[in-house]
A and B are shown apart, each in its own frame.
Chain A
Amino acid sequence: MTLEAYADTIVPGQKRFADDRAIAGVSTGGGAVQAGALELLQWDATGIHEGLDDLVRLVNEHALAYAAERRLTPDPTVPPFVALDYPDRAALIQRLTTPGHPEKEFWVLLSLFCNMAFDSAAHLNTAQAMEDGHPGLEAMGLSMPDADGLWRFQDYSYRREFARLHPDTTSTGSPA
């Protein structure tokens, strides 16, 4: 649940069910969680799969400290990071990923893979993910590939002369 909340802070989505606590619900459509962030993070190909338990523990410790600092009273029925409202989750991640934070590299790595689940579905074959309506690729507006799973664009250019060339251009198209 903590990892889901973290992923949802990176790319937020809408709640999956009414009392969904992990997802803050600040955005419409699927976010990193719906895009498969947990599946990607837990895949050994990423290299961070073995450290996830430690990251969960650490981010909850940071959440407790953050809550204490802000005089918040976290709901004890969910992990401390999950108990934070979205703006506080985001503020904590900003703090953890700021240059100079001793754990910055871990949190950047975790954030990177959460984002990749959404923006490139790095755990899925892309053509299949498109066909299955992957929420990230769909939201970004990627077009469908051809039947063989490859992309081709017959129309790709305005075919217009838009600007003067730089006067110091060689005959082969380089700076003089």
Chain B
Amino acid sequence: MSTTAERTDVLVIGSGFGGAIAAYHLAAGGADVTVLERGPWLESKEFEHDYKLGSSYTRAFDFTVGDGMSILGGNCVGGGSVVYFAAMPRAPRFVFDRQGSIGRRMWPQAVSRDTLDPWYDRVEESLSVTRQDWNDVSYAGGLWAAACNHAGRTANPLAVAIDNTKCVNCNWMMAGCRFEAKQSLLVNYLPAAIAHGARIRPLHEVQHLSRTPEGSYRVHYNVVHDDDYRLQAGSGVIEAKIVVMAAGAGATPVILQRSEAHLGTMPRAVGRYFSGNGERLNTAIIDEAKAAELFGLDRGDGLAYAANQIGKGPTVASWDRLDGSLPEFSRYSLEQLYFPPGLGTILAQVPGATGPSWFGKEKKEILKQWTSWLTIFTMIEDDNEGVFGPPPATGNAHRISQQMLGRGNLRYEPTKNTLGAWAASDAEVKEILEKDGLAKVMPWTNDLVGAYTVHPLSSCRMGDDPHTSALDDSNELRDHPGIFVTDGSSVPGALTVNPAMTIAALAERAMPGIVRAAQSRGISVTYGAPAPDGSTSGRSRVLPLLPSARG
């Protein structure tokens, strides 16, 4: 096999935030870069407004059901950025001091809000992150803000990576943005990487890694059928001196688990400490008359709200509980969110149900009020309870449907810390939204597919303690030099806010070190590329902190 393997300097697994950022910097610096992406490569014109199985809506992501936790993750070129809602807040300062259940700081000492801020700056520049104003806020966000204010809370329009001049508020972001308003990686880092020579191979699903006698890596992949991901259309091997793993927190540890037989013992933390970012959803059924009466809401056509379908994902969040003086597991954010039908609607429960709460006669009645739903997304501090069992035969899950649905081996049993934080956040959502009869609220049930995360994290996390972290503070896999992990799996724990910004900033932060590692392996590459559009303001703030990278 080794005589026929293709070769590349750097092999990047996955093309989401962690993969695209690495591919860009390494290609711009002169390295030969190949990206393997397990999902399809969809162009803007292929992003459909269609819930039908087989449309871009189901081709672009995977929903993997585990034991106690289900993961919704990107599955296409651009990864999670194609299906995300473009909310890009920085993590609060206290997050970096979290201890979780290990009893000491879980983040590496080298990473704090202060040390990460320059890298956040760079991402804001690269993805054109802007602070929304009230004119940008959707009806749902406005209603949430009004309710927060009515209950004595503050509320913030979110920082997002959306070009509002192009956004038509269609709310189809999870099927990919047809109008190129959402600043996914398809409109910045990836085209810039390609312009510098990076090659992207869609529908290439990495199975495992092995090592060459020279210390390089062989990356073994299957080719996935274009429409029916249950089918395979071949396999192959690529040899690389550096491997950047960015397959996502639901897949990176699975690939490494499967590689253990070939590479030797993996760090203990590979496939452990998974966090669902503490996520949970509450569905409120808004009393339209009360919304008009309490807040004077008027859409101009006699409707007070009834606008669940309209908008662009989350636009307003309440951060009153993001208070670093509060104890761990009691801090969380409450964010308005649009969640499309088909995936989570079944998990919404009927407030005050006398019969079954998630299906049946009463559930149908609240489905008839769907336009008056307001969904609140809570992000608490969970306890990194998730553990991946033995890897499936291929990929990261046993695929059930032709796309979208699979069964994985993640086991997640929430601790009292997590359950308590969820209960506290649920109670606060209820308090805010049921005040003066505005709405009836119930959290999604965990009984069907377990807890549900759209932001999987920490399954291969960085840290200073080899016992509880798979990566050192340079994102390199312990005891396996030349393998770096830059996706959400490297983030040590739940962030209490949407994590894309932090995943991207950590990937940016890792790049000078990965370039140095590549140089030490004989790859002709330098560090110092500007933002993908050529902007350098972030760079000018970043480089002085990295004298070793300037030469």
A, B bound:
yes
The one of B149, B299, B359 in contact with A9, judged by C-beta atoms closer than 8 angstroms, is B359
Q: Is the CB of B368 within 8 A of A12?
A: no
Q: A115-B345, A151-B172, A173-B89 are in contact. Are A157 and B137 (CB under 8 A)?
A: yes
The one of B50, B134, B157, B367 in contact with A173, judged by C-beta atoms closer than 8 angstroms, is B157
Q: Is the CB of A163 within 8 A of B49?
A: no
Interface size class of B (residues with CB under 8 A): 35 or more
Q: How far is the CB of B177 from chain A (nearest CB, A)?
A: 12
**Interface of A: prevailing SS:** loop
Known: A159-B134, A172-B124. 5 other contacts (CB 8 A): A140-B371, A141-B371, A160-B142, A166-B320, A170-B90
Report the stretch among A56-64, A74-82, A85-93 that lies at the interface.
Answer: A85-93
Tell me, yes or no, whether A71 is within 8 Å of chain B by CB.
no
Q: Which of B's residues lie within 8 Å of A, judged by CB?
A: 49-55, 58, 65, 89-93, 120, 124, 129-132, 134-139, 142, 145-146, 148-149, 153-159, 168-172, 178, 228, 230, 295, 297-300, 306-307, 309-312, 318-320, 322, 340-342, 345-346, 355-356, 359-361, 363-364, 367-368, 370-371, 399-403, 405, 407, 447-449, 497, 501
Leading 4 A-B pairs by shortest Cβ distance: A173-B131, A120-B342, A173-B159, A162-B145
Q: Is the CB of B367 within 8 A of A47?
A: no
Q: Is the CB of B297 within 8 A of A158?
A: yes
- Give the interface centre of B129, B401, B497, B501 by most chain A CB atoms within 10 Å: B401
The one of A98, A122, A141, A150 in contact with B342, judged by C-beta atoms closer than 8 angstroms, is A122
8 inter-chain pairs at a CB distance below 8 angstroms, sorted by A residue, are A45-B402, A93-B356, A105-B65, A119-B345, A157-B135, A163-B146, A163-B155, A174-B159
B298 to chain A: closest residue by CB: A158
* B120 neighbours in A (Cβ, 8 Å): 174
Q: How far is the CB of A122 from chain B (nearest CB, A)?
A: 5
Q: Is the CB of B448 within 8 A of A151?
A: no
Q: How far is the CB of B301 from chain A (nearest CB, A)?
A: 8
Q: Is the CB of A121 within 8 A of B402?
A: no
Q: What is the total number of residues of chain A having a CB less than 8 Å from a CB of chain B?
A: 72
Q: Is the CB of A153 within 8 A of B49?
A: no
Tell me, yes or no, whether A155 is within 8 Å of chain B by CB.
yes
* B53 neighbours in A (Cβ, 8 Å): 43, 45-46, 122-123
B402 to chain A: closest residue by CB: A45
Q: Is the CB of A119 within 8 A of B367?
A: yes
* A159 neighbours in B (Cβ, 8 Å): 134-135
Q: A90-B355, A157-B137 are in contact. Are A45 and B54 (CB under 8 A)?
A: yes
Tell me, yes or no, whether A156 is within 8 Å of chain B by CB.
yes
The one of A86, A94, A124, A166 in contact with B156, judged by C-beta atoms closer than 8 angstroms, is A166
* B136 neighbours in A (Cβ, 8 Å): 157
Q: How far is the CA of A55 from the CA of B169 in the complex (A)?
A: 41
Q: How far is the CA of A155 from the CA of B142 in the complex (A)?
A: 13
Tell me, yes or no, whether A99 is within 8 Å of chain B by CB.
yes
The one of A119, A126, A164 in contact with B50, judged by C-beta atoms closer than 8 angstroms, is A126
Q: Is the CB of A47 within 8 A of B399?
A: yes
Q: How far is the CA of A124 from the CA of B50 in the complex (A)?
A: 8
Q: Is the CB of A11 within 8 A of B364?
A: yes
